[in-house]
Amino acid sequence: MVEFVKDGATGMEKVLLREPGGATAQIHLYGGHVTSWRNERGEELLFLSSKAIFKPPKAIRGGIPVCFPQFGGFGALEQHGFARNRMWAVDINPPPPPPFAGTGPNKPYIDLVLKPSDDELKIWPHNFELYQRVMIGFNGELTSIIRVRNTDTKPFTFTFALHTYLSVSDISEVRIEGLETLDFLDNLQEKERFTEQGDAITFDSEVDRIYLGTPTKIAIIDHDKKRTFVLKKEGLPDAVVWNPWEKKAKAMADFGDDEYKHMLCVEAAAVEKAITLKPGEEWKARQEISAVPSSYFSGQLDPCKVLNG
């Protein structure tokens, strides 16, 4: 089921997707931004700050902001580009070729599009079309399929991220598997390059890293909840891991002081190697996140089975 509604609190337009099994997703047209993803029991799986602001030109703090045409401060544009704080449109007729594999007849989805206005063209002088299909699968998995088309007469170059805020029970009890032994750029040390040494990534202070050349599958294991998020990605070689921790949390106006304990950003991204499109070319990427009981695979917490399965 696909439903178009106006948010009671903010008056903003959003789309609700409901899978027959009961899982749901909510997408705000503002930012083309997934702001809720719930499993069949109605449990929220994405973090959304209680202080999130739903008003241009502020990006919504939580859910899945779309960072385009620039990730972070990797360029001269505003932080994370402008797509996350612009109004997108519902696209009832996305252009051929028939876009994306895996859209079953009963899987609810919505197609959104962002094209630059005259104002955006002043900020970034390139004609583009940015498409996003958001879809809920039979097992409640949440998929975002992204396409960028160059509709200009000159090539352009961009970086990109799906800035996913996952909801976790207690950040100190979370670990990420799939990024060990990889190189990363540390945003907390002027983007200096290091190699990950640990067996898995755990959290006891601020983290802001861009892992490079990451595998297509990453597992985020929430021990308290006995839940594993499995993030699968294509076309997005990097993975940003961010938690602001206590001090930065307090400094952010749209983030509760203690909320850092209950969120973790794992962002499928293309940052290190920017993408260049010639006129008429298209770039495509895909992210699928599922939430499974950690014990599902072997009766014990065994994330290796998640990654190798």
Nearer to ligand BG6, 110 or 207 (CB): 207
Binding marks (x or -) toward ligand BG6, 162..181, rule CB under 6 A?
-x------------------
Give the neighbor-by-neighbor strand order of the sheet with 13-18: 2-6, 13-18, 24-28, 33-38
Near ligand BG6 by CB under 6 A: residue from 267, 270, 271, 288: 267
The residue whose two tokens read 């070689």 is 237
Residue 187 near ligand BG6 by CB under 6 A: yes
Q: From the candidates 80, 120, 163, 272, give the one annotated as an active-site residue.
A: 163
Residues 245-264 that bind ligand BG6 (CB under 6 A): none
Residues 208-247 that bind ligand BG6 (CB under 6 A): 208, 240, 242
Q: Which stretch binds ligand BG6 (CB under 6 A): 38-46, 72-80, 91-99, 170-178?
A: 72-80
Q: Which residues contact 60 (CB under 8 A, 6 or more apart)?
A: 28, 30, 31, 33, 35, 48, 52, 53, 54, 84
Q: From the candidates 120, 177, 259, 267, give the one annotated as an active-site residue.
A: 267
Beta strand pairing status for 183-186 and 227-234? unpaired
Residues 104-163 that bind ligand BG6 (CB under 6 A): 163
* Total of residues contacting ligand BG6 (CB under 6 A): 10
The total of other beta-carbon atoms located within 10 Å of residue 154's CB is 10
Is 61 annotated in a binding site? The answer is: yes
Is 79 annotated in a binding site? The answer is: yes
Q: Is residue 51 left, alpha or beta, with left meaning phi > 0 and alpha meaning psi from -120 to 50?
A: alpha
Query: Rounded distance, CA 81 to CA 164, Å?
Result: 16
Give the neighbor-by-neighbor strand order of the sheet with 174-177: 89-90, 109-114, 128-136, 142-150, 282-293, 227-234, 217-222, 174-177, 201-202
Residues that bind ligand BG6 (CB under 6 A): 59, 72, 79-80, 163, 187, 208, 240, 242, 267
The residues annotated with a catalytic role in the active site are 163, 267
Q: Which residues are annotated as a binding site for substrate?
A: 61, 79, 84
